[in-house]
Chain A
Amino acid sequence: MSSSRTLSDHDDSSFFDYLLHRRPDLVPGNRDWNGTANPLWDPNRPHQIPQPPHGTTVLALKYREGVVIAGDRRATEGFQIAGRQMEKVFKIDGYSAMAIAGTAGPAIEMVKLFQTELEHYEKLEGVQLSYEGKANKLGQMIKANLPMVFHGLIVIPIYVGYDHRRRDGRIFKYDITGGRYEESEYHAIGSGGKDARSTMREHYRKNLSEDETLKLALLSLYNAAEEDVGTGGPDLIRGIYPTAKVVNATGITDVEDQRVAMLYAELVAERKQEG
Protein backbone atom coordinates (compact mmCIF):
# COMPACT_ATOMS: atom_id res chain seq x y z
CA MET A 1 0.00 0.00 0.00
CA SER A 2 1.21 3.49 -0.74
CA SER A 3 2.18 5.66 2.19
CA SER A 4 -0.78 7.95 1.59
CA ARG A 5 -3.13 5.06 2.21
CA THR A 6 -1.53 3.94 5.44
CA LEU A 7 -3.29 6.96 6.96
CA SER A 8 -6.57 5.14 6.60
CA ASP A 9 -5.61 1.48 6.70
CA HIS A 10 -6.53 1.28 10.35
CA ASP A 11 -10.15 1.12 11.32
CA ASP A 12 -10.55 1.04 15.04
CA SER A 13 -11.64 3.64 17.56
CA SER A 14 -8.90 2.84 20.05
CA PHE A 15 -5.84 5.06 20.17
CA PHE A 16 -4.01 2.41 22.18
CA ASP A 17 -4.47 -0.14 19.38
CA TYR A 18 -3.51 2.46 16.80
CA LEU A 19 -0.30 3.21 18.68
CA LEU A 20 0.44 -0.51 18.99
CA HIS A 21 0.01 -0.79 15.24
CA ARG A 22 1.77 2.39 14.10
CA ARG A 23 4.31 3.17 16.81
CA PRO A 24 4.78 0.13 19.06
CA ASP A 25 7.90 1.79 20.49
CA LEU A 26 5.69 4.42 22.14
CA VAL A 27 3.40 1.96 23.91
CA PRO A 28 4.17 1.74 27.63
CA GLY A 29 5.17 -1.77 28.63
CA ASN A 30 6.00 -2.74 25.08
CA ARG A 31 9.61 -1.64 25.05
CA ASP A 32 12.31 -3.82 23.64
CA TRP A 33 14.81 -4.51 26.35
CA ASN A 34 16.94 -6.47 23.85
CA GLY A 35 16.40 -9.62 25.83
CA THR A 36 18.62 -8.45 28.67
CA ALA A 37 17.32 -7.89 32.15
CA ASN A 38 16.36 -4.39 33.14
CA PRO A 39 19.58 -2.78 34.45
CA LEU A 40 17.48 -1.01 37.07
CA TRP A 41 16.56 -4.34 38.60
CA ASP A 42 19.73 -6.39 38.79
CA PRO A 43 19.67 -8.34 42.07
CA ASN A 44 23.46 -8.72 42.02
CA ARG A 45 24.13 -5.01 42.22
CA PRO A 46 21.03 -3.48 43.74
CA HIS A 47 22.74 -0.30 44.91
CA GLN A 48 24.67 0.70 41.82
CA ILE A 49 21.87 2.16 39.80
CA PRO A 50 19.27 4.25 41.59
CA GLN A 51 15.69 3.11 41.45
CA PRO A 52 13.27 5.34 39.55
CA PRO A 53 10.98 7.56 41.62
CA HIS A 54 7.91 6.02 43.21
CA GLY A 55 4.64 7.67 43.98
CA THR A 56 3.22 6.70 47.34
CA THR A 57 -0.26 7.02 48.87
CA VAL A 58 -3.48 7.82 47.00
CA LEU A 59 -7.11 7.23 47.97
CA ALA A 60 -10.72 7.68 46.93
CA LEU A 61 -14.00 7.88 48.86
CA LYS A 62 -17.59 7.95 47.75
CA TYR A 63 -19.89 10.63 49.11
CA ARG A 64 -23.49 11.73 48.68
CA GLU A 65 -23.08 13.25 45.20
CA GLY A 66 -20.03 11.53 43.80
CA VAL A 67 -16.43 10.73 44.65
CA VAL A 68 -13.49 12.49 46.30
CA ILE A 69 -10.03 11.42 45.13
CA ALA A 70 -6.82 12.57 46.78
CA GLY A 71 -3.13 11.88 47.04
CA ASP A 72 -0.02 13.00 48.89
CA ARG A 73 2.81 14.79 47.07
CA ARG A 74 5.88 12.77 47.93
CA ALA A 75 7.98 10.75 45.48
CA THR A 76 10.68 8.43 46.82
CA GLU A 77 13.78 6.77 45.41
CA GLY A 78 14.50 3.97 47.85
CA PHE A 79 15.01 5.76 51.15
CA GLN A 80 15.57 9.13 49.53
CA ILE A 81 12.90 11.70 48.85
CA ALA A 82 12.86 12.27 45.11
CA GLY A 83 10.20 14.95 44.99
CA ARG A 84 7.97 16.95 47.30
CA GLN A 85 5.53 18.35 44.77
CA MET A 86 4.55 15.38 42.68
CA GLU A 87 1.00 15.39 41.35
CA LYS A 88 -0.61 11.95 41.56
CA VAL A 89 -4.26 12.75 40.92
CA PHE A 90 -5.12 13.39 37.27
CA LYS A 91 -8.21 14.50 35.44
CA ILE A 92 -8.81 11.95 32.69
CA ASP A 93 -11.88 13.43 31.00
CA GLY A 94 -14.86 15.57 31.97
CA TYR A 95 -16.24 13.00 34.42
CA SER A 96 -13.42 10.78 35.58
CA ALA A 97 -10.10 11.00 37.38
CA MET A 98 -7.29 8.64 38.18
CA ALA A 99 -4.75 8.46 40.97
CA ILE A 100 -1.54 6.48 40.67
CA ALA A 101 0.86 4.63 42.92
CA GLY A 102 4.02 2.90 41.81
CA THR A 103 6.81 3.81 39.45
CA ALA A 104 6.28 7.44 38.48
CA GLY A 105 7.58 7.43 34.90
CA PRO A 106 5.43 4.65 33.42
CA ALA A 107 2.49 5.75 35.58
CA ILE A 108 2.45 9.27 34.17
CA GLU A 109 2.87 7.85 30.69
CA MET A 110 -0.13 5.61 31.29
CA VAL A 111 -2.20 8.59 32.44
CA LYS A 112 -1.33 10.50 29.27
CA LEU A 113 -2.13 7.51 27.09
CA PHE A 114 -5.44 6.90 28.85
CA GLN A 115 -6.44 10.56 28.49
CA THR A 116 -5.66 10.41 24.77
CA GLU A 117 -7.47 7.09 24.43
CA LEU A 118 -10.76 8.43 25.81
CA GLU A 119 -10.61 11.69 23.86
CA HIS A 120 -9.72 9.78 20.69
CA TYR A 121 -12.69 7.46 21.07
CA GLU A 122 -15.03 10.36 21.74
CA LYS A 123 -13.89 12.25 18.65
CA LEU A 124 -14.01 9.26 16.32
CA GLU A 125 -17.33 7.85 17.52
CA GLY A 126 -19.05 11.12 18.38
CA VAL A 127 -20.03 9.80 21.83
CA GLN A 128 -18.18 9.14 25.06
CA LEU A 129 -17.42 5.63 26.22
CA SER A 130 -19.60 4.40 29.07
CA TYR A 131 -17.97 4.48 32.49
CA GLU A 132 -17.72 0.67 32.47
CA GLY A 133 -16.11 0.85 29.06
CA LYS A 134 -13.50 3.31 30.27
CA ALA A 135 -12.71 1.21 33.33
CA ASN A 136 -12.30 -1.93 31.20
CA LYS A 137 -10.01 -0.15 28.76
CA LEU A 138 -7.78 0.94 31.64
CA GLY A 139 -7.64 -2.68 32.80
CA GLN A 140 -6.38 -3.74 29.38
CA MET A 141 -3.70 -1.06 29.46
CA ILE A 142 -2.49 -2.23 32.86
CA LYS A 143 -2.42 -5.78 31.57
CA ALA A 144 -0.25 -4.62 28.67
CA ASN A 145 2.18 -3.22 31.25
CA LEU A 146 2.64 -6.70 32.77
CA PRO A 147 6.07 -7.31 31.13
CA MET A 148 7.33 -4.18 32.90
CA VAL A 149 6.13 -5.53 36.24
CA PHE A 150 8.72 -8.30 35.97
CA HIS A 151 11.34 -5.58 35.66
CA GLY A 152 10.07 -4.01 38.85
CA LEU A 153 8.24 -1.16 37.14
CA ILE A 154 4.81 -1.49 38.70
CA VAL A 155 1.90 0.87 38.04
CA ILE A 156 -1.29 0.59 40.05
CA PRO A 157 -4.12 3.11 39.69
CA ILE A 158 -7.43 3.91 41.30
CA TYR A 159 -9.96 5.08 38.75
CA VAL A 160 -13.01 7.05 39.82
CA GLY A 161 -15.78 8.70 37.91
CA TYR A 162 -19.37 9.71 37.74
CA ASP A 163 -21.57 7.14 36.02
CA HIS A 164 -24.42 9.00 34.32
CA ARG A 165 -26.35 5.80 33.66
CA ARG A 166 -26.36 4.80 37.31
CA ARG A 167 -26.38 8.38 38.59
CA ASP A 168 -23.69 7.54 41.08
CA GLY A 169 -19.99 7.95 41.72
CA ARG A 170 -17.89 4.83 41.23
CA ILE A 171 -14.48 3.61 42.36
CA PHE A 172 -12.41 0.96 40.61
CA LYS A 173 -9.21 -0.57 41.88
CA TYR A 174 -6.85 -2.70 39.81
CA ASP A 175 -4.21 -5.35 40.31
CA ILE A 176 -1.01 -5.74 38.28
CA THR A 177 -2.63 -8.19 35.87
CA GLY A 178 -5.27 -5.67 34.89
CA GLY A 179 -7.90 -7.25 37.14
CA ARG A 180 -10.60 -4.71 37.85
CA TYR A 181 -12.59 -4.61 41.09
CA GLU A 182 -15.25 -2.18 42.16
CA GLU A 183 -15.21 -0.66 45.64
CA SER A 184 -18.53 0.49 46.99
CA GLU A 185 -17.24 2.85 49.71
CA TYR A 186 -13.56 3.77 49.71
CA HIS A 187 -10.11 2.53 48.82
CA ALA A 188 -6.45 3.50 49.21
CA ILE A 189 -3.30 2.17 47.57
CA GLY A 190 0.42 2.76 47.74
CA SER A 191 2.95 2.39 50.54
CA GLY A 192 0.69 4.11 53.07
CA GLY A 193 -2.50 2.64 51.64
CA LYS A 194 -3.05 0.25 54.52
CA ASP A 195 -2.76 3.03 57.09
CA ALA A 196 -5.07 5.28 55.12
CA ARG A 197 -7.60 2.45 54.84
CA SER A 198 -7.54 1.91 58.61
CA THR A 199 -8.48 5.54 59.19
CA MET A 200 -11.22 5.43 56.57
CA ARG A 201 -12.59 2.19 58.03
CA GLU A 202 -12.93 3.87 61.42
CA HIS A 203 -14.60 7.07 60.23
CA TYR A 204 -16.38 6.30 56.98
CA ARG A 205 -20.14 6.55 56.87
CA LYS A 206 -22.54 6.40 53.95
CA ASN A 207 -23.87 9.67 52.50
CA LEU A 208 -21.21 11.96 53.92
CA SER A 209 -21.23 15.55 52.69
CA GLU A 210 -18.49 16.85 50.41
CA ASP A 211 -16.77 18.72 53.25
CA GLU A 212 -16.85 15.75 55.61
CA THR A 213 -15.50 13.44 52.93
CA LEU A 214 -12.71 15.80 52.00
CA LYS A 215 -11.76 16.13 55.65
CA LEU A 216 -11.71 12.36 56.08
CA ALA A 217 -9.53 12.01 52.97
CA LEU A 218 -7.03 14.50 54.34
CA LEU A 219 -7.08 12.91 57.80
CA SER A 220 -6.39 9.51 56.25
CA LEU A 221 -3.41 10.88 54.33
CA TYR A 222 -2.19 12.60 57.49
CA ASN A 223 -2.35 9.35 59.46
CA ALA A 224 -0.68 7.44 56.63
CA ALA A 225 2.15 9.99 56.64
CA GLU A 226 2.61 9.42 60.37
CA GLU A 227 2.99 5.65 59.96
CA ASP A 228 4.69 5.36 56.57
CA VAL A 229 8.01 6.96 55.58
CA GLY A 230 7.00 6.98 51.93
CA THR A 231 3.96 9.20 52.43
CA GLY A 232 4.33 12.94 52.69
CA GLY A 233 2.21 14.85 55.22
CA PRO A 234 1.18 18.48 54.84
CA ASP A 235 4.35 20.56 54.49
CA LEU A 236 3.43 23.65 56.49
CA ILE A 237 6.82 25.30 55.99
CA ARG A 238 6.88 25.13 52.21
CA GLY A 239 3.09 25.33 51.91
CA ILE A 240 2.79 22.02 50.02
CA TYR A 241 -0.45 20.13 50.65
CA PRO A 242 -1.98 16.93 49.31
CA THR A 243 -4.06 17.43 46.19
CA ALA A 244 -7.70 16.40 45.82
CA LYS A 245 -10.40 16.45 43.18
CA VAL A 246 -14.16 16.11 43.47
CA VAL A 247 -16.07 14.21 40.77
CA ASN A 248 -19.86 14.49 40.54
CA ALA A 249 -22.71 14.98 38.06
CA THR A 250 -21.52 18.49 37.19
CA GLY A 251 -17.98 17.35 36.34
CA ILE A 252 -14.60 17.52 38.03
CA THR A 253 -13.42 20.28 40.30
CA ASP A 254 -9.97 20.72 41.78
CA VAL A 255 -10.00 21.40 45.48
CA GLU A 256 -8.03 24.63 45.95
CA ASP A 257 -4.87 24.58 48.02
CA GLN A 258 -6.37 27.17 50.34
CA ARG A 259 -9.30 24.94 51.25
CA VAL A 260 -6.94 22.02 51.91
CA ALA A 261 -4.68 24.28 54.01
CA MET A 262 -7.68 25.44 56.05
CA LEU A 263 -8.91 21.89 56.68
CA TYR A 264 -5.41 20.89 57.78
CA ALA A 265 -5.20 23.88 60.12
CA GLU A 266 -8.47 22.70 61.72
CA LEU A 267 -7.15 19.17 61.96
CA VAL A 268 -3.89 20.21 63.59
CA ALA A 269 -5.77 22.45 66.04
CA GLU A 270 -8.02 19.52 67.01
CA ARG A 271 -4.96 17.32 67.57
CA LYS A 272 -3.33 19.93 69.79
CA GLN A 273 -6.51 20.28 71.83
CA GLU A 274 -6.71 16.56 72.37
CA GLY A 275 -3.15 16.80 73.70
Chain B
Amino acid sequence: MPLPYYVSPEQMMQDKAEYAKKGISKGRSIIAVEYADGILLVADNPSASLYKISEIYDSIAFSGAGKYSEFESLRKAGIRHADLKGFMYSREDVTARSLANGYSQTLGTIFSQELKPLEVEILVAEVGQTGRPNELYRISFDGSIFDERGYAVIGGRSEALQGYLKEHYKAEGLTLKAGLALCSAALENITNQKLPLEGLEIATLERNRVGRKFRRILPAESRQILT
Protein backbone atom coordinates (compact mmCIF):
# COMPACT_ATOMS: atom_id res chain seq x y z
CA MET B 1 0.00 0.00 0.00
CA PRO B 2 1.54 3.35 -0.96
CA LEU B 3 1.95 5.90 1.81
CA PRO B 4 -0.47 8.84 1.61
CA TYR B 5 1.18 11.92 0.19
CA TYR B 6 1.97 14.24 3.11
CA VAL B 7 3.54 17.69 3.25
CA SER B 8 3.66 19.56 6.56
CA PRO B 9 1.77 22.89 6.56
CA GLU B 10 4.98 24.73 7.40
CA GLN B 11 6.73 23.23 4.42
CA MET B 12 3.82 23.97 2.13
CA MET B 13 3.60 27.64 3.18
CA GLN B 14 7.32 28.04 2.87
CA ASP B 15 7.30 26.58 -0.62
CA LYS B 16 4.46 28.83 -1.69
CA ALA B 17 6.14 31.91 -0.24
CA GLU B 18 9.37 31.07 -2.02
CA TYR B 19 7.52 30.55 -5.26
CA ALA B 20 5.71 33.89 -4.96
CA LYS B 21 8.85 35.79 -3.94
CA LYS B 22 10.73 34.35 -6.88
CA GLY B 23 8.00 35.52 -9.26
CA ILE B 24 7.92 39.03 -7.81
CA SER B 25 11.69 39.42 -7.70
CA LYS B 26 11.83 39.02 -11.47
CA GLY B 27 9.69 42.14 -11.93
CA ARG B 28 10.67 45.78 -11.89
CA SER B 29 10.05 48.16 -9.00
CA ILE B 30 7.62 50.92 -8.15
CA ILE B 31 8.14 53.74 -5.67
CA ALA B 32 5.60 55.98 -3.96
CA VAL B 33 6.74 59.04 -2.03
CA GLU B 34 4.82 61.69 -0.15
CA TYR B 35 5.70 65.19 -1.30
CA ALA B 36 4.47 68.63 -0.35
CA ASP B 37 1.29 68.59 -2.49
CA GLY B 38 0.40 64.92 -2.40
CA ILE B 39 1.79 61.56 -3.41
CA LEU B 40 4.11 60.79 -6.31
CA LEU B 41 4.24 57.31 -7.85
CA VAL B 42 7.07 56.27 -10.15
CA ALA B 43 7.41 52.91 -11.87
CA ASP B 44 10.26 51.50 -13.87
CA ASN B 45 8.12 50.59 -16.87
CA PRO B 46 9.31 50.73 -20.48
CA SER B 47 5.79 50.26 -21.86
CA ALA B 48 3.79 53.42 -22.48
CA SER B 49 0.44 51.63 -22.59
CA LEU B 50 0.59 48.72 -20.15
CA TYR B 51 0.28 50.59 -16.89
CA LYS B 52 1.47 49.57 -13.46
CA ILE B 53 0.03 52.64 -11.77
CA SER B 54 -3.62 53.49 -12.06
CA GLU B 55 -6.51 55.48 -10.67
CA ILE B 56 -8.96 53.75 -8.36
CA TYR B 57 -11.07 56.60 -7.04
CA ASP B 58 -11.09 60.34 -6.32
CA SER B 59 -8.04 60.34 -4.06
CA ILE B 60 -6.88 56.72 -4.31
CA ALA B 61 -4.26 55.22 -6.61
CA PHE B 62 -3.21 51.62 -7.16
CA SER B 63 0.04 50.12 -8.18
CA GLY B 64 0.95 46.49 -8.74
CA ALA B 65 4.23 44.66 -9.18
CA GLY B 66 4.83 41.10 -10.28
CA LYS B 67 2.66 39.18 -12.70
CA TYR B 68 0.71 41.56 -14.93
CA SER B 69 -2.39 39.42 -15.45
CA GLU B 70 -2.76 38.93 -11.71
CA PHE B 71 -2.38 42.50 -10.52
CA GLU B 72 -4.48 43.72 -13.44
CA SER B 73 -7.43 41.65 -12.25
CA LEU B 74 -6.88 42.93 -8.72
CA ARG B 75 -6.82 46.49 -10.06
CA LYS B 76 -10.14 45.97 -11.82
CA ALA B 77 -11.66 44.40 -8.73
CA GLY B 78 -10.52 47.43 -6.75
CA ILE B 79 -12.17 49.86 -9.16
CA ARG B 80 -15.40 47.84 -9.01
CA HIS B 81 -15.29 47.78 -5.21
CA ALA B 82 -14.71 51.54 -5.04
CA ASP B 83 -17.29 52.52 -7.66
CA LEU B 84 -19.94 50.28 -6.11
CA LYS B 85 -19.31 51.70 -2.67
CA GLY B 86 -19.30 55.28 -3.92
CA PHE B 87 -22.53 54.69 -5.82
CA MET B 88 -24.26 52.95 -2.94
CA TYR B 89 -23.19 55.40 -0.23
CA SER B 90 -21.24 58.54 -1.02
CA ARG B 91 -17.99 59.42 -2.74
CA GLU B 92 -16.33 60.34 0.54
CA ASP B 93 -17.05 56.89 1.99
CA VAL B 94 -14.58 55.21 -0.35
CA THR B 95 -11.33 54.79 1.59
CA ALA B 96 -7.92 53.30 0.92
CA ARG B 97 -8.04 51.49 4.24
CA SER B 98 -11.12 49.48 3.30
CA LEU B 99 -9.68 48.76 -0.13
CA ALA B 100 -6.34 47.65 1.31
CA ASN B 101 -8.22 45.38 3.71
CA GLY B 102 -10.10 43.87 0.78
CA TYR B 103 -6.84 43.17 -1.05
CA SER B 104 -5.33 41.71 2.08
CA GLN B 105 -8.29 39.36 2.49
CA THR B 106 -8.22 38.29 -1.15
CA LEU B 107 -4.47 37.70 -1.26
CA GLY B 108 -4.48 35.95 2.12
CA THR B 109 -7.28 33.58 1.15
CA ILE B 110 -5.69 32.71 -2.15
CA PHE B 111 -2.31 32.19 -0.52
CA SER B 112 -3.63 29.72 2.04
CA GLN B 113 -6.27 27.93 -0.02
CA GLU B 114 -5.14 27.78 -3.62
CA LEU B 115 -2.37 25.65 -4.99
CA LYS B 116 -0.64 28.60 -6.63
CA PRO B 117 -0.27 31.88 -4.71
CA LEU B 118 -0.52 35.19 -6.56
CA GLU B 119 2.89 36.53 -7.55
CA VAL B 120 2.05 40.14 -6.84
CA GLU B 121 2.71 42.97 -4.48
CA ILE B 122 0.17 45.78 -4.24
CA LEU B 123 0.45 49.40 -3.21
CA VAL B 124 -2.63 51.46 -2.33
CA ALA B 125 -2.13 55.20 -1.82
CA GLU B 126 -4.60 57.82 -0.67
CA VAL B 127 -3.86 61.51 -0.54
CA GLY B 128 -5.20 63.04 2.68
CA GLN B 129 -7.54 65.99 2.56
CA THR B 130 -8.68 68.66 4.99
CA GLY B 131 -5.69 68.14 7.23
CA ARG B 132 -5.79 64.34 7.28
CA PRO B 133 -2.48 62.56 6.64
CA ASN B 134 -1.74 60.58 3.49
CA GLU B 135 -2.05 56.81 3.60
CA LEU B 136 0.28 54.30 1.97
CA TYR B 137 -0.50 50.60 2.23
CA ARG B 138 1.71 47.84 0.94
CA ILE B 139 0.11 44.40 0.64
CA SER B 140 2.31 41.41 -0.04
CA PHE B 141 1.54 38.11 -1.79
CA ASP B 142 0.39 36.37 1.43
CA GLY B 143 -2.01 39.13 2.39
CA SER B 144 0.13 40.77 5.05
CA ILE B 145 -0.42 44.48 5.06
CA PHE B 146 2.03 47.25 5.96
CA ASP B 147 1.13 50.83 6.77
CA GLU B 148 4.02 52.89 5.38
CA ARG B 149 5.06 56.46 6.12
CA GLY B 150 6.89 58.84 3.80
CA TYR B 151 7.71 56.34 1.11
CA ALA B 152 6.85 52.79 0.03
CA VAL B 153 8.42 50.41 -2.45
CA ILE B 154 7.12 47.29 -4.16
CA GLY B 155 8.56 44.94 -6.77
CA GLY B 156 11.80 43.20 -7.52
CA ARG B 157 14.52 45.21 -5.86
CA SER B 158 12.44 46.65 -3.06
CA GLU B 159 14.90 46.03 -0.24
CA ALA B 160 17.76 47.82 -1.97
CA LEU B 161 15.43 50.67 -2.93
CA GLN B 162 14.11 50.96 0.59
CA GLY B 163 17.68 51.26 1.84
CA TYR B 164 18.42 54.00 -0.67
CA LEU B 165 15.28 55.95 0.21
CA LYS B 166 15.88 55.58 3.94
CA GLU B 167 19.16 57.32 3.41
CA HIS B 168 18.04 60.04 0.99
CA TYR B 169 14.36 60.75 1.67
CA LYS B 170 13.58 63.93 3.57
CA ALA B 171 9.92 64.60 4.22
CA GLU B 172 10.26 68.31 4.94
CA GLY B 173 8.99 70.43 2.03
CA LEU B 174 9.80 67.90 -0.69
CA THR B 175 8.79 69.46 -4.02
CA LEU B 176 7.50 67.49 -6.99
CA LYS B 177 10.78 68.17 -8.79
CA ALA B 178 12.90 66.94 -5.88
CA GLY B 179 10.63 63.92 -5.38
CA LEU B 180 10.84 62.93 -9.02
CA ALA B 181 14.61 63.39 -9.06
CA LEU B 182 14.89 61.24 -5.93
CA CYS B 183 12.78 58.40 -7.35
CA SER B 184 14.58 58.40 -10.67
CA ALA B 185 17.98 58.46 -8.91
CA ALA B 186 16.90 55.58 -6.66
CA LEU B 187 15.81 53.45 -9.62
CA GLU B 188 19.01 54.27 -11.52
CA ASN B 189 21.08 53.47 -8.47
CA ILE B 190 19.75 49.93 -8.07
CA THR B 191 19.63 49.08 -11.77
CA ASN B 192 23.08 50.61 -12.34
CA GLN B 193 22.00 52.20 -15.57
CA LYS B 194 20.72 55.50 -16.87
CA LEU B 195 16.93 55.36 -17.17
CA PRO B 196 15.42 57.58 -19.87
CA LEU B 197 12.28 59.48 -18.80
CA GLU B 198 10.36 57.52 -21.45
CA GLY B 199 11.11 54.42 -19.40
CA LEU B 200 9.41 55.78 -16.29
CA GLU B 201 5.71 55.67 -15.64
CA ILE B 202 4.84 58.65 -13.45
CA ALA B 203 1.60 59.68 -11.79
CA THR B 204 0.53 61.90 -8.93
CA LEU B 205 -2.32 62.29 -6.49
CA GLU B 206 -2.50 66.05 -6.09
CA ARG B 207 -4.22 67.25 -2.95
CA ASN B 208 -5.38 70.55 -4.42
CA ARG B 209 -7.05 69.23 -7.55
CA VAL B 210 -10.83 69.43 -7.62
CA GLY B 211 -12.63 66.06 -7.86
CA ARG B 212 -10.42 63.31 -9.21
CA LYS B 213 -6.90 63.88 -7.89
CA PHE B 214 -5.10 61.29 -10.00
CA ARG B 215 -3.02 62.55 -12.90
CA ARG B 216 -0.52 60.90 -15.21
CA ILE B 217 2.66 62.81 -15.97
CA LEU B 218 3.86 62.09 -19.51
CA PRO B 219 7.57 62.22 -20.47
CA ALA B 220 7.25 65.68 -22.04
CA GLU B 221 5.92 67.10 -18.78
CA SER B 222 8.34 65.23 -16.53
CA ARG B 223 11.21 66.65 -18.56
CA GLN B 224 9.77 70.10 -17.93
CA ILE B 225 9.41 69.43 -14.20
CA LEU B 226 13.00 68.27 -13.88
CA THR B 227 14.56 71.27 -15.65
Contact = CB atoms under 8 A, between A and B. Distances in A.
A120 B106 CA distance: 21
B126 interface: no
Given A8-B74, A23-B88, A18 B109 contact: no
B51 A7 contact: no
A15 B80 CA distance: 8
Chain A's interface: helix, strand, loop or mixed, by majority? helix
A113 B84 CA distance: 10
A123 interface: yes
A119 interface: yes
A7 B81 contact: yes
A62 to B, nearest CB: 27
Interface string B33-69: 0000000000000000101001110000000000000
A113 B87 CA distance: 7
A141 B66 CA distance: 38
Contacts of A15: 80, 83-84, 87
Interface string A144-186: 0000000000000000000000000000000000000000000
A4 B105 contact: yes
A4 B87 CA distance: 21
Interface string B63-100: 00000000001101101110110111000000000000
Contact of A7 (B87, B102, B212): B102
B217 interface: no
A123 B80 CA distance: 10
A124 B76 contact: yes
Interface residues of B, number: 24
Contacts of A116: 83, 86-87
Given A7-B102, A123-B55, A23 B77 contact: no
A22 B84 contact: yes
B54 A4 contact: no
Given A15-B83, A123-B56, A7 B88 contact: no
Nearest to A126: B51
A19 interface: yes
A47 interface: no
Contacts, number: 52
Contact of B76 (A4, A8, A113, A119): A8
B84 A4 contact: no
Contacts of B77: 7-8
B81 A23 contact: no
Interface string B6-37: 00000000000000000000000000000000
Interface string A118-151: 0110011010000000000000000000000000
Interface in B94-136: 102, 105-106, 109-110, 113
A7 B81 CA distance: 8
Nearest to B62: A123
A105 to B, nearest CB: 16
Given A7-B106, A8-B74, A112-B87, 16 more contacts: A2-B113, A4-B105, A8-B76, A18-B80, A18-B83, A18-B84, A23-B88, A26-B87, A26-B88, A119-B83, A120-B79, A120-B80, A120-B83, A123-B55, A123-B79, A123-B83
Q: Which 7 A-B residue pairs are closest in the complex by CB-CB distance? A: A7-B77, A4-B109, A8-B73, A4-B106, A8-B77, A120-B83, A116-B87
28 contacts: A2-B109, A4-B105, A4-B106, A4-B109, A4-B110, A7-B106, A8-B74, A8-B77, A10-B80, A15-B80, A15-B83, A18-B80, A18-B83, A22-B80, A22-B84, A23-B84, A26-B87, A26-B88, A113-B87, A116-B83, A116-B87, A119-B83, A120-B79, A120-B80, A120-B83, A123-B83, A124-B76, A124-B79
Interface of A: 2, 4, 7-8, 10-11, 15, 18-19, 22-23, 26, 112-113, 116, 119-120, 123-124, 126
Interface of B: 49, 51, 54-56, 73-74, 76-77, 79-81, 83-84, 86-88, 102, 105-106, 109-110, 113, 212
